[in-house]
A and B are shown apart, each in its own frame.
Chain A
Amino acid sequence: MKQIIKSLGLAVVAAGISASAFAGNITVKGSDTLVILAQKWAEVYMGQHSDVKIQVTGGGSGIGFAALQSQTTDLCDASRKAKPAEIANCIKAFGKRPTEYKVALDGLSVYVNPENTLKELTEDQVGAIFTGKITNWKDVGGPDAPITVYSRENSSGTYEFFKEHVLKGQDFAASAQTMPGTAAIVQAVIKDKNGIGYGGAAYGGGSKLLAIKKDNAAPAVEPTEDNVENGSYPIWRYLYVYVNPALDKDEVAAYLNWIRSDDGQKYVKDIGYYPLPKNLRSN
């Protein structure tokens, strides 16, 4: 009996040692927007480096920052910039600011029903529709019909970005229907001929993507890949990875470097986002 307990104990200790000795273990946690892309990167990278093991989990940018601060994850994916309170929490936990890396671009488009005759809106008009100041399509040059607004959950980084940059910080209309994901918004807009929604340009299949004008005088810009990458389409954002600077070395640094290299950026388009401009890449 004693022998068994002894050997069991040894086995546990050995397992513990081997787990910690397995240095090439990277955990990634955070934004649900980024999770598919992060998984793709992890898959490809693990295929190229058999000694590295990468675990990717979603949950949300907020969950990612909480994990970064409690040091239960190496990398934190985020679809928004870290908030001052989160940076302060990190400093309290490990004494330093987390290092921020931009890893991809995301263009947000405005979807309407394919039957809608409208082709373009100015940024201000989009803002007025989503805040509920404009409630009829005829006010923006469309047919005489009420507008149904579809929005995301307020936990979504897309929601927050849209609110800060397109709505200029004003509240969404209270009657805006909250949908659990971008795909749900697209489905709703396809079914509802008076509907309008927003989300990643790549998800918009089946709906009509509106061209956006920065202001009345500016030309209308379609949310195409080129227009997002060269910055002429006005609604876009960065996607980020945050890391504890103390961990930003060896495998983790090599992985981050690879993500931002030409090789890593190749896969961004497959997922529906846009690669970083050349000057922001690591090589």
Chain B
Amino acid sequence: MQPSQKEARRTPGWMGIHRGHKARPLEWLAEKFIFLVSLSTILMVFLIFVFVAREALPVFFGQTDTALVSAVIPPNEMDKHSPAELQKYLELTPEQFKAMDHDTLKSLMDVKVEAQDDIPEEFRTSRDARINTTEWRYLLLPHQWDDYKKPEYIWQPVGQIKKFNIIPLLVGTLKITLIGLLFAVPLAVGAAIYVSQLARPQVREIAKPTIELLSGIPSVVVGFFALLVLATVLQKIFGYETRLNAFVAGIALGFAVIPIIFSIAEDALTSVPRAYTQAALALGASRWQTAWQIVLPAALPGVFAATVLGFGRAIGETMIVLMVCSASVMSWSIFDSARSITTTIAAEMAEAVNGGPHYRILFMLGALLFAATFISNMIGDFVIHRFKNKLEGKR
């Protein structure tokens, strides 16, 4: 057989693996095993997404109802109502309803009555008592609740009237993330330029692993450091009133994001072809001019991708923000407290009634976060690939 013919017959086999020779049984087994493992990760991501979406869907379809006062059917009148009515009233699936005997249904109805009896008198007459607070207008728009002087964005999910406005959480998340990025990006990119272009090899040998070591620090340790040391130091410097605020959280978050941005940006800067640098230096440019005017522009897509991936990490970070600040204040001031989406989910999920409105809304926030990180990671990935192709001259 001619080599060229052999080449032609070497088509990508199943799963894209070239089979130029007879696979040995053990190799075949290992191959299948690795395939299964990688398949299971993809499956896992998919299942998580399905789970989150399934728990959150009732909010999107408006199937949750938090109206405090609702009409009750007295348990002794239950025979007057049709089974279909009772099933809807008790929020049961047809299977559940069929499986229940008369006494069980009656005790469920008793619980409904008790729930209404438990409501304190001042709330029974409140005009907020009859509204479903999980409707989109209450989730997104300000509303003038009883006891408040003007329409406000309020996140107070526990209590008689449950207020689920998610705007303070969105604002808090963005505020903290942006402060974190504003702090981390210049530092990380600066460090990357220095390490990849300007530093002597001996310095580079030490600086690079040290910065990357930062990513090995557990975020709870960073949070603890920020809570005890950073918050006090920053308050002394800036003299603001609230000790724990979005600014402190943002700076602490920066520490978690710096190693990510640094290592991707450094990779991008290093992979700019040597010829560019050599040409610039040969033409008489200084090392600083070369780094700033030749290498950085060539690596810009990579640096941008690093920033986007850093954003994904920052928006999803929980522990640091949880420890440093968590009052859901609706304010754009960076020296006010803030509460991020992740913090809210982590702190409140434990006490939310399983399957209740609060639980559903937390899952809805989770889905939102999932979408945000997914999109930012996708943009980052896309830009990296484009950048690679461009440098390799493929366009």
- Partner-B contacts on A (CB < 8 A): 59-63, 65-66, 69, 83-89, 91-92, 95-97, 131, 153-157, 159-160, 163-164, 168-172, 174-178, 180, 192
Q: A164-B159, A168-B122, A175-B242 are in contact. List 18 more A-B contacts (CB 8 A).
A: A65-B354, A86-B353, A88-B111, A89-B353, A91-B104, A91-B107, A91-B111, A95-B101, A154-B158, A155-B352, A160-B351, A163-B159, A171-B154, A171-B159, A171-B163, A177-B337, A180-B322, A192-B243
Given B111, B147, B159, B348, which contacts A153 in the complex, CB threshold below 8 Å?
Answer: B348
* Residue pair A60, B351 in contact (C-beta under 8 Å): yes
* Residue pair A60, B350 in contact (C-beta under 8 Å): yes
Q: Give me the 10 closest cross-chain CB pairs, A-B, nearest first.
A: A60-B350, A84-B115, A155-B351, A62-B351, A66-B354, A154-B158, A178-B326, A171-B156, A153-B347, A60-B351
Cβ of B300 under 8 Å from chain A:
no
* Residue pair A178, B147 in contact (C-beta under 8 Å): no
Mask: chain B, 83-123; 1 = CB below 8 Å from A; 0 = not? 00000001110001000110010011001101100101011
* Residue pair A92, B96 in contact (C-beta under 8 Å): yes
Given B111, B120, B337, B354, which contacts A84 in the complex, CB threshold below 8 Å?
Answer: B111
| Minimal beta-carbon separation of A100 from chain B (angstroms) | 13
Contact flag A61-B351 (CB < 8 Å), given A164-B159, A171-B156, A178-B326 = yes
Residues of B within 8 A of A176 (CB): 327
Residues of A within 8 A of B355 (CB): 85, 89
Q: How many Å lie between the Cα of A83 and that of B354 in the bound state? A: 11
Given B91, B159, B353, which contacts A169 in the complex, CB threshold below 8 Å?
Answer: B159
| Minimal beta-carbon separation of B247 from chain A (angstroms) | 15
- Partner-A contacts on B (CB < 8 A): 90-92, 96, 100-101, 104, 107-108, 111-112, 114-115, 118, 120, 122-123, 145, 147, 154, 156-161, 163, 242-244, 322-323, 326-330, 337, 339, 347-356
Q: How many Å lie between the Cα of A175 and that of B328 in the bound state? A: 8
Write 24 A-B pairs (CB below 8 A) sorted by A numbering: A61-B351, A83-B353, A84-B118, A85-B353, A87-B111, A89-B353, A91-B104, A92-B96, A153-B347, A154-B157, A160-B158, A163-B158, A168-B120, A170-B147, A171-B154, A174-B154, A174-B327, A175-B242, A175-B327, A177-B242, A178-B326, A178-B347, A180-B322, A192-B243
Q: How many Å lie between the Cα of A89 and that of B90 in the bound state? A: 11
Given B107, B161, B348, which contacts A154 in the complex, CB threshold below 8 Å?
Answer: B348
* Residue pair A175, B337 in contact (C-beta under 8 Å): yes
Q: Which partner residue on chain B sits nearest A149 by CB separation?
A: B327
Residues of A within 8 A of B123 (CB): 169
* Residue pair A97, B107 in contact (C-beta under 8 Å): yes
| Minimal beta-carbon separation of A36 from chain B (angstroms) | 17
- Residue picked from B96, B101, B156, B322, most chain A C-beta under 10 Å: B156
| Minimal beta-carbon separation of B367 from chain A (angstroms) | 20
Residues of A within 8 A of B160 (CB): 164, 169
| Minimal beta-carbon separation of B138 from chain A (angstroms) | 15
Given A62, A92, A131, which contacts B352 in the complex, CB threshold below 8 Å?
Answer: A62
Q: How many Å lie between the Cα of A62 and that of B350 in the bound state? A: 6
- Residue picked from B123, B323, B353, most chain A C-beta under 10 Å: B353
Q: Which partner residue on chain B sits nearest A154 by CB separation?
A: B158
Q: How many Å lie between the Cα of A88 and that of B355 in the bound state? A: 11
Q: How many Å lie between the Cα of A63 and that of B96 in the bound state? A: 23
- Residue picked from A160, A176, A178, most chain B C-beta under 10 Å: A178
Residues of A within 8 A of B244 (CB): 177
Residues of A within 8 A of B118 (CB): 84
Q: How many Å lie between the Cα of A171 and that of B165 in the bound state? A: 14
Contact flag A169-B122 (CB < 8 Å), given A155-B348, A177-B242 = yes
* Residue pair A84, B112 in contact (C-beta under 8 Å): yes
Q: Which partner residue on chain A sits nearest B357 by CB separation?
A: A85
Residues of B within 8 A of A163 (CB): 158-159
Residues of A within 8 A of B242 (CB): 175, 177
* Residue pair B353, A62 in contact (C-beta under 8 Å): yes
Q: Which partner residue on chain B sits nearest A86 by CB separation?
A: B353
Residues of A within 8 A of B115 (CB): 84-85
* Residue pair A155, B353 in contact (C-beta under 8 Å): no
Q: How many Å lie between the Cα of A78 and that of B322 in the bound state? A: 24
* Residue pair B327, A177 in contact (C-beta under 8 Å): yes
Given B107, B243, B329, B353, which contacts A174 in the complex, CB threshold below 8 Å?
Answer: B329
Residues of A within 8 A of B159 (CB): 160, 163-164, 169, 171
Q: How many Å lie between the Cα of A69 and that of B322 in the bound state? A: 29
Residues of A within 8 A of B322 (CB): 180
| Minimal beta-carbon separation of A126 from chain B (angstroms) | 17
Residues of B within 8 A of A171 (CB): 145, 147, 154, 156, 159, 163
Q: How many Å lie between the Cα of A62 and that of B158 in the bound state? A: 12
| Minimal beta-carbon separation of A159 from chain B (angstroms) | 7
* Residue pair B114, A154 in contact (C-beta under 8 Å): no
Q: Which partner residue on chain A sits nearest B153 by CB separation?
A: A174
Residues of B within 8 A of A178 (CB): 326-327, 339, 347
Q: How many Å lie between the Cα of A59 and that of B354 in the bound state? A: 13
